[in-house]
Amino acid sequence: MTDTYLDMVNSGLGKQLASKLGLPRPVTLRRFKAGADFPDGSVLVLGKGRAGDAAAKDLLAWNLDVRRTAQDVDRVGAVVIDYTEAESPAQLGGPALELASALRKLRPGGRVITLSRPALGIGTGAASGAAGSEALSPAVSAARQGAVGILRSVAQEMRGGVTANGVLIADGVAVDAPSVTGAIRFFLSGRSAYVDGQFLTVGDDRGDAGLDWDHPVAGKVAVVTGAARGIGEQVTRTLAASGATVIPVDVPMAGDALTKLANELRVPALQLDVTDPQAGQKILDLVTARYGRLDLVVHNAGITRDKMLANMDQAKWDSVIAVNIESQLRINETLLASEDLGAAPRIVCLASTSGVAGNRGQTNYAASKAGVIGLVAATAPLIAAKGGTINAVAPGFIESDMTAKIPAARRQISRRLNSLQQGGLPVDVAQAITFLLSDAAGGINGQTLRVCGQSLVGA
Ligand code: NAD
Q: Whose CA is nearest to atom 23 of ligand 1?
A: 402
324, 372 contact by CB (below 8 A): yes
Query: Do 31-202 and 221-451 come out as alike in CATH topology?
Result: yes
Domain 31-202: assigned CATH number: 3.40.50.720
Annotation marks residue 365 as catalytic: yes
pLDDT for the residue numbered 125: 41
pLDDT for the residue numbered 12: 77
Q: Is 266 left (phi over 0), alpha (psi -120 to 50) or beta?
A: left
Q: Whose CA is nearest to atom 34 of ligand 1?
A: 302
CA of 231 to the centre of ligand 1 (A): 7
- Mean pLDDT, the chain cut into blocks of 10 residues (459 residues total): 77 73 84 93 94 98 95 94 97 95 95 96 47 77 97 96 98 98 98 98 97 97 98 98 98 98 98 98 98 98 97 98 98 98 98 95 97 98 98 96 85 90 97 98 98 83
The domain ranges of the chain are 1-30, 31-202, 221-451
pLDDT for the residue numbered 126: 39
**Which residues fall within 8 angstroms of residue 166, CB to CB, at 6 or more apart?**
113, 114, 115, 116, 147, 148, 151, 198, 199, 200
List the beta bridge partners of residue 271: 250
Number of residues written out for the chain? 459
Fold of the domain built from segment(s) 221-451: Rossmann fold (3.40.50)
pLDDT for the residue numbered 457: 73
CA of 360 to the centre of ligand 1 (A): 19
300, 224 contact by CB (below 8 A): yes
If you ran DSSP here, which 8-state letter would residue 424 be given? B
pLDDT for the residue numbered 129: 39
Q: Which of 83, 194, 291, 365 is catalytic?
A: 365
Classify residue 321 as exposed, middle or buried by CB count within 10 Å of its CB (0-12, 13-18, 19+): middle
Q: Whose CA is nearest to atom 42 of ligand 1?
A: 395
